Amino acid sequence: MNREAYNKISDRWDSARRKFYGREREYLDVLLSALPGGASVIDLGCGTGRPMAEDVISRGYRVIGIDQSSEQIKKAAERFPEQRWVLSSMEAYGFNDGFDAAIIWDSLFHIERSYHEPILRKVVERLPSGGRVMLTVGGSEHPAFTDFMFGQEFFYDSNSPEKTLHIIENLGCHPLIGEFMNLPTEGRDKGRYAIVAEKA
């Protein structure tokens, strides 16, 4: 469902998603603060490469972008042809590329929650000691649901922030930031929670 839906809305997504929201750039500052120039950052669910990969590249790092939507990743590859872009779902990606930090931004919540721990495990296993990961999850415990964006239907699922923090800590990471980007409401918005964590 999500692959085709992102292919269909990719032009409109690309026009809308140009700038950082809220404290996103500050989270990137924390993610990258201990990294030497030239290090590699993997961006899982990278979209069209803007603004996250764009900012990471501008700071002198290399990016490996993974996205399952051909239209989304095509735009990222056209925009930054010198970086590595892989058309793949996170679930199927082999994690054979080395990386020093990881971004999983507004993408994990598009995947059934039973896959979240295995994906996070693969990411953390491949991070060096002291490497950092930043991600978002949904802001509340709720059943999987669908919602519409630009006229297309998208699937969403998430563990609660507490459970995600528990998973991350069990994988050997220490959270540096864990905060709501927006709080869940009684209605449509299930909330969004940001985490930046460091591997011991």
Using CB atoms within 10 Å of the CB of residue 200, give its burial: 0 to 12 exposed, 13 to 18 middle, 19+ buried: exposed
Min separation Cβ 121 and ligand SAM, Å: 16
Terminal C-alpha separation, the chain: 37
Contacts of 140 (CB under 8 A, 6+ apart): 160, 184, 190, 191
Rounded least distance, CB 48 to ligand SAM, Å: 7
Number of Cβ within a 10 Å radius of residue 49: 27
Residue whose CB is less far from ligand SAM, 36 or 188? 188
Contact 48, 13 (CB under 8 A): yes
User: Using CB under 6 A as the criterion, which residues of the chain lie in contact with ligand SAM when the complex forms?
Assistant: 2, 6, 17, 45-47, 52, 66-69, 72, 89-91, 105-107, 110-111
Q: Which is nearer to ligand SAM, 100 or 106 (CB)?
A: 106
C-beta closer to ligand SAM: residue 39 or 44: 44
Work out how close the CB of 97 gets to ligand SAM at its nearest, in angstroms, rounded to a whole number: 15
Of the pair 52, 196, the CB lying nearest ligand SAM is at 52
